[in-house]
Structure 1
């Protein structure tokens, strides 16, 4: 990939995180038991695991298996998923869940509390409304949005930790875990590899990139930052070690109506897509929280930096629709603007 003009400067463009060492391969092309690489399509994105060390093949297969199981459980477009069963039973009865799915929903509700509802897993009806609008090449009316917003409230979800059940008390409520499931899957993959004794790995789900230590040769994992308006242009990078780098953006998934772009990130307060900020990058320790926070800050904008500055080991970079950059207090030392 090419360097940008004015490469060393902190200026003017929105970013997408990509791993410079994320070279997608055909499933398990390397037969060595001490190395594992595999790519799959899960959570509506590409998922990749690279692991090194004794037992890496077996450990990698187990980790990827966990991620696949989570995808099957949380896919709202699958008639057989656990989350689909939960949504279909809204207003009727609690639904028993697997331990991982229950824990993920529990984490999503905790994220709702942390963000004062800016991250809300019960946003499903609003997502459906805007998807239908996209398919019809129209926009929802204010009345339609307000009606749907009455179904969006994470505080209404009832969990029973003893029985591992969840209940949506109002007919029409639905959970959509798209803003947290990829991060949770990366976290589960990382944890699985660590439990197997793997000391060098990278786990990727879309823009969520988690790492274990360094590459086998001791060099750091390198996560590049590119300008989405110039996909071949690298402007900087980070070197996470036992950390995760995650990005959310409005520039890849959107539809255009009456000459205006409408992104996929929806504000549960207004019921409308957020459009002021083009991208948000998070650097932190938890893949799950990185996923949550990158979405949250796209909605909150610079107001969200107050939250970031209060969280330990967490940094953020926001890019608005005009290309202006806003960083958390400690981020500057983590971004490098000389690629080679």
Structure 2
């Protein structure tokens, strides 16, 4: 499986680099050190950075390097990643982590507390159960789900800030950061670019899109929101400045069993996929929290808008499986159509 996975990454990365090279040659006949555009395949998706300003080339490469390091550390499918080492040591011993991995897990637990466990990074055993069921073209039994749910509890994770260690106290527990790692990586890249004095940038990791200021010409960055029922169509645009737009959806990643679609977002309360809402878009200041919140609202649905309305500088758009739209209090004035 890993061999096919690595081959797919290599092929897609090569295609991205070829397209990027063509774009740079076509659009920038005199490449400047003040412009950087780079793409890689990380976190199982396309990652792209565009940066403008003095030293943008060096700053962009450094930011991309940070994202690459995070991907390597948090890849649960890699035998030598930090996250794999942590999961393998569950029930046995604490595991020392790099600063970034430790802080990412710390942020994931903060998100879990904020959402009262609807976002739960210890959902790993449940993810594995449904992945196995998908590969066998079947569905987990209620008893299998019940046994796995016992292992899902973010409150059990033990962090030691002084030693930078993490411990999963129960054998079989595992952390899966797929619902927050892309956002954290975008946030770290944005921070790195800001520290380098970059005046204009956009960083993309899948559905998580962070920005610095506006485009170089002063016009706003525009992020389109797809229509889940017609993915080639845009229902509107947001114009983030020093903000992030994050969209999670069930309409692109799912499997069908016995004539029913099952999305990839799992509800840690029920142990089953959530299918009532097709997509959720979050507009906020933190790419990390945007990633976790978009997953949370796909599970909670309109109930989650109460949470969003209580958070500063945060807006949300939910689209259900029938195409109906539900917005937080302040989004209507920000959504351009």
TM-score where L is the length of structure 2: 0.92
2:160 matched to which residue of 1? 160
SS of the equivalent of 1:332 reads coil
Q: Shift of the alpha carbon at 1:282?
A: 0.3
Q: What's the secondary structure of 2:252's corresponding residue?
A: coil
Shift of 1:27: 9.1
- Corresponding position of 2:285: 285
CA contact (8 A) 1:26 1:38 kept: no
Q: 1:57 and 1:28, CA in 2 relative to 1: closer, same or farther beyond 3 A?
A: farther
CA 155–28 in structure 1, closer or farther in 2 if over 3 Å, else same: farther
Which whole-Å deviations, capped at 9, do the CAs of 1:248-298 have from their partners, x for residues lacking one?
Answer: 000111100000000000000000000111110000000001000000000
Partner of 1:20: none
Corresponding residue number in structure 2 for 1:140: 140
Is the Cα contact below 8 Å between 1:27 and 1:39 reproduced in 2?
Answer: no
Query: How far did 1:230 drift?
Result: 2.4
Q: How many residues align?
A: 314
Q: Is the contact made by 1:28 and 1:37 (CA closer than 8 Å) also made in structure 2? A: no
Contact 1:199 1:212 in 2 (8 A): yes
Aligned to 2:54: 54
After superposition, the Cα gap between the structure-2 partners of 1:260 and 1:117, relative to the gap in structure 1 and judged at 3 Å, is same
Q: Is the 8 A contact 1:245 1:283 kept in 2?
A: yes
Contact 2:316 2:328 in 1 (8 A): yes
Q: CA deviation at 1:299?
A: 0.3
Look up the SS of the partner of 1:110 in the other structure.
helix
Q: Deviations over 1:216-242 (max 9, x none)?
A: 000110101222332332231111101
Aligned position for 2:82: 82
Alignment of 1:53-202 (within 5 A): 53-202=53-202
Task: Supply the distance in 1 between the matched residues of 2:235 and 2:319 (Cα, whole angstroms).
Answer: 14
**Structure 2 residue ranges without an equivalent (≥5):** 1-18
Runs of 4 or more, structure 1, over 3 Å off, are 26-31
Higher helix share: 2
* Cα separation, partners in 2 of 1:79 and 1:313, compared to 1, 3 Å: same
- Distance in 1 (alpha carbons) for counterparts of 2:307 and 2:22: 40
1:122-141 CA-partner distances (Å, limit 9, x unpaired) = 00000000000000000000
RMSD: 1.1
CA distance in 2, matches of 1:246, 1:224: 11
Matched, 1:263 2:263: yes
Q: Counterparts in 2 of 1:238-317, with a 5 A limit?
A: 238-317=238-317
Q: Which residue of 1 aligns with 2:211?
A: 211
- Unpaired runs of 5+ in structure 1? 1-23
Contact map agreement 1:159 1:165 (CA 8 A) in 2: yes
Instruction: Measure how far apart 1:322 and its partner are.
Output: 1.3
Report the 3-state secondary structure (helix = DSSP H, G, I; strand = E; otherwise coil) of the residue aligned with 2:135: helix
- Between the aligned partners of 2:156 and 2:21, the Cα distance in structure 1 is 44
Given that 2:246 and 2:290 are in contact with CA atoms closer than 8 Å, whether structure 1 keeps it comes out as yes
Structure 2: distance between partners of 1:81 and 1:101: 10
